[in-house]
């Protein structure tokens, strides 16, 4: 079977975009693992499917599968690429969209459109801090704890102070004094797979530079170390604002570039950043 695709990225967080409006593709997890492989496939952090939504209030439905085949609830960089893809392919002329995701209805808006690169602002909704949204194993923590702010997590005889937030999917934010000294690939997977998180977690290491600027490195659940993470940037900003570390409009500097994150009067997280088209083609899926 031949599958047509677009390769796109948001600040280096790259995706294989597939038009699945007719839903003819089978075995999404297996296909994602095959196509995302950087040696034997196209190579990407994840695979995004463009589907029809059955909800009257939604324009389209987005599904995203990580490079390990697991399905994520949402992806901030991915949904910017999703909106951009719709316009490149003339699937809509709406600048403001309502997209169904596993995390609910997300609203991206095309601010500046060019086929090669667009700027997209996304209303990511209100951050959640409850243990339920973080899928925390409550048997492992004190019954009086209702959120993970400044929570000590012990790994390999070392204590990490984590701050939990959900912006569509779960995140654990750790503040550090020197980001350059953090071994993301060593620590990240141990926190991601810690039994405290029943469904795993994304991990952000954050160094506050100024009241309007934070440097962040990311370990993404199901994808590993990535150059950027939109939901992670929003989660980091949300926790930092809640703890009065930064102002309500903050630049999150990721290895792939900056995202502008703000929290509006309704406490919704607004993310603004680029989406870039790389190339398009088709690939044989080996009978899948």
Q: How far apart are CA 144 and CA 118, in angstroms?
A: 46
DSSP helix/strand/coil, 20: coil
Is 36 a residue of the active site? Answer: no
Is 229 a residue of the active site? Answer: yes
Is the CB of residue 198 less than 8 Å from the CB of residue 191?
Answer: no
Nearest to residue 86, comparing CAs of 50, 45, 32?
Answer: 50
CB half-sphere exposure, 242, CA atoms < 13 A: 21
Q: What does the radius of gyration of the chain's CA atoms come to, in whole angstroms?
A: 18
Please tell me which residue in 36, 75, 81, 234 is annotated as part of the active site.
75
Nearest to residue 78, comparing CAs of 58, 98, 63?
Answer: 63
Q: How far apart are CA 209 and CA 246, in angstroms?
A: 9
Token duo for residue 284: 């044989």
Please tell me which residue in 36, 81, 229, 234 is annotated as part of the active site.
229
Q: How far apart are CA 180 and CA 63, in angstroms?
A: 34
**Residue owning tokens 């500046």:** 112
Q: How far apart are CA 5 and CA 15, in angstroms?
A: 10
* Residues annotated as part of the active site: 75, 229
């Amino acid at each position: 079977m031949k599958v047509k695709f677009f390769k796109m990225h948001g600040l280096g967080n790259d995706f294989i975009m597939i038009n699945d409006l007719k839903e003819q593709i089978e075995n999404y997890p297996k296909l994602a693992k095959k196509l995302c492989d950087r040696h034997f496939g196209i190579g990407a952090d994840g695979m995004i499917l463009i589907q029809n939504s059955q909800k009257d209030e939604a324009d389209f439905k987005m599904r995203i599968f990580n490079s390990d085949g697991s399905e994520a609830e949402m992806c901030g960089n991915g949904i910017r690429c999703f909106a951009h893809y719709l316009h490149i392919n003339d699937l809509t002329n709406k600048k403001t969209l309502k997209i169904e995701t596993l995390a609910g209805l997300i609203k991206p808006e095309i601010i500046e459109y060019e086929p090669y690169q667009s700027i997209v602002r996304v209303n990511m909704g209100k951050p959640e801090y409850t243990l339920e949204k973080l899928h925390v194993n409550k048997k492992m923590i004190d019954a009086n704890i209702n959120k993970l702010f400044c929570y000590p997590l012990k790994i390999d005889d070392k204590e990490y102070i984590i701050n939990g937030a959900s912006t569509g999917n779960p995140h654990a934010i750790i503040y550090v004094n020197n980001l350059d000294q953090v071994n993301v690939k060593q620590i990240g997977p141990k926190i991601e797979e810690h039994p405290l998180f029943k469904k795993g977690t994304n991990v952000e290491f954050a160094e506050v530079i100024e009241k309007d600027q934070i440097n962040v490195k990311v370990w993404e659940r199901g994808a590993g170390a990535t150059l950027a993470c939109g939901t992670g940037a929003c989660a980091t900003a949300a926790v930092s604002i809640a703890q009065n570390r930064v102002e309500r409009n903050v630049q999150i500097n990721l290895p792939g570039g900056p995202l502008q994150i703000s929290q509006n009067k309704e406490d919704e997280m607004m993310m603004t950043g680029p989406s870039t088209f790389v190339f398009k083609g088709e690939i044989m899926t080996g009978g899948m």
